[in-house]
Amino acid sequence: MTYQSTNPFNGTPVEAFDQMSDKALDAALATAAACFETWRKTSYAERAKIIAKASALMQANVNALAHTMTLEMGKRISEARGEVEFSSRILAYYAKNAERFLAPVKLNPTVGEAHMESSPIGVIFGVEPWNFPYYQLARVAGPHLMAGNVLVVKHAGIVPQCAIAFEALLVEAGAPAGLYTNLLISHEQADKVVDDPRVKGVCLTGSVAAGQSVAARAGKNLKISSMELGGSDAFIVLEDADLEKTIPWAVWGRMYNTGQTCCAAKRFIVVDEIADKFLAKFQAALKALKAGDPMDEKTTLGPLSSEGALVQLLKQVDDAVAKGAKVALGGKRIDRPGSYMQPTILTDIKPENPAFRDEFFGPVALFFRVKDEAAAIALANDSDFGLGGSVWCKDPARGQRVASLVETGMMFINNIDWSDAELPFGGIKNSGYGRELGDMGIQQFVNKKLVRTVAMDAPH
């Protein structure tokens, strides 16, 4: 396998990297395991120096890092800079808070004293996707390294330069050899890493199929895992929604990162009373987006990450239409160089249509009109996924009530702002299990040890 970096703006190959040999992989795992024996005994203050320095380096190099991301997977340059800055904040957040999050917790047994203490478990294997090339790495590196674990990471094949750049940041920040290792490996080699006894846990962000495969292998090896998989988030618009505020969020929620986001708004569920008005405004706003060079600040529509991603999405749209869906906007490739797709709205999607269940990873919005709030909640819950979702209405109490009734890992009321290091991120159902970020994110790969002290005679 070769790791190939290709610019999706024009299809030009950028740089290729050879896969690691099995011997090099074994040496990397040995170095990581050796590093853990020292790192686990390193104080929080010493760990924090390195992680905080990596955060500062990200901030200092924001433009260069963003440029590499845009070059490799086509993210619009302003969004790329935002991602680098958020990644920097995540590292800083865990450098500051890890010791507090993992402090011993006093318990109150009926007799004697007891507490829970947290300790790292070893080498953690991360499998990460291309859609957020630095954020995905920061949200595992920040918590798990600060917890005292070490990381080996297989990043996506289309963003090798981002993967290499992130590892270089940690090395420059003073990380010891083996603390964070980027692995340019094949899927077969990744299976070997999951099986390797030196590896104690596995975290993956990716497709449902990838999650099923890796989680099954981790389970067979009795290794703890966390899975952040796909989503088909509901964007519920009730009749009292303020459309002047809702429509810009609808556009951002579907089109941010050219729609290539797990927790993007994907199913627009609108109460009939306001549906026509919402659809007309949504169509007009999406139609106004202009395809262009993602390096250009003025571009409002970037390419998809790769030609393969575009072909897959076009096939999904064609299949949906063949099964009865209507195209209210777009539906085709844009006639220009690069992997560009028209912003698309599909309507009239019946439950037997594959589009009703599938995730569309790109600029395709599914539009559903429903009778009332109860029908909106029922449709939102009729999904194999459960990552995020949002509800739009003027009454905060109503928003809270609807949010509580939607079966998903995250709900947002009159916003879709998940980009806060303090907010736990993750889902249920086919969207996976476990949480990243926040206090919960650092607890995934630590041993929660009970320690009890009591002077008592043995039972007899």
User: Which one is catalytic: 128, 228, 359, 436?
Assistant: 228
β-pairing verdict for 113-120 and 446-453: antiparallel
Phi and psi (nearest 5°) for 46? -70, -40
Q: Residue 214 and residue 154: Cα distance in Å, rounded? A: 12
Q: Residue 144 and residue 201: Cα distance in Å, rounded? A: 11
Q: Residue 145 and residue 138: Cα distance in Å, rounded? A: 10
β-pairing verdict for 150-154 and 224-228: unpaired
The beta-carbon contacts of 366-372 under 8 Å, at least 24 apart in sequence, are: 366/266, 366/267, 366/268, 367/268, 367/270, 367/279, 367/282, 367/328, 368/267, 368/268, 368/269, 368/270, 369/270, 369/271, 369/272, 369/275, 370/269, 370/270, 370/271, 370/272, 371/271, 371/272, 372/271, 372/272
- Residue given tokens 């539906």 in the structure block: 331
To the query of whether residue 393 is one of the catalytic residues in this protein, the response is: no
User: Which one is catalytic: 262, 263, 359, 436?
Assistant: 262
DSSP structural state of residue 103: S
Phi and psi (nearest 5°) for 16? -120, 150
Q: Give 445's contacts (C-beta < 8 A, 6+ positions apart).
A: 120, 121, 124, 144, 147, 149, 200, 201, 203, 224
Q: Map residue 438 onto helix, strand or coil.
A: helix
Concatenated DSSP letters of 362-417: SSEEEEEEESSHHHHHHHHHSSSEES-EEEE-S-HHHHHHHHHHS-SS--EES---
Q: Residue 39 and residue 99: Cα distance in Å, rounded? A: 15
What is the C-alpha R_g of the chain?
23
Tokens at 133, concatenated = 């090339």
Q: Residue 84 and residue 69: Cα distance in Å, rounded? A: 9
To the query of whether residue 203 is one of the catalytic residues in this protein, the response is: no
Q: Give 417's contacts (C-beta < 8 A, 6+ positions apart).
A: none
Specify whether the CB–CB gap between 400 and 406 falls below 8 A. no
Q: Residue 241 and residue 394: Cα distance in Å, rounded? A: 6
Q: Give 199's contacts (C-beta < 8 A, 6+ positions apart).
A: 29, 122, 123, 124, 125, 152, 193, 223
Neighbour tally for 267: CB within 10 Å: 25
Q: Which residues are catalytic?
A: 228, 262
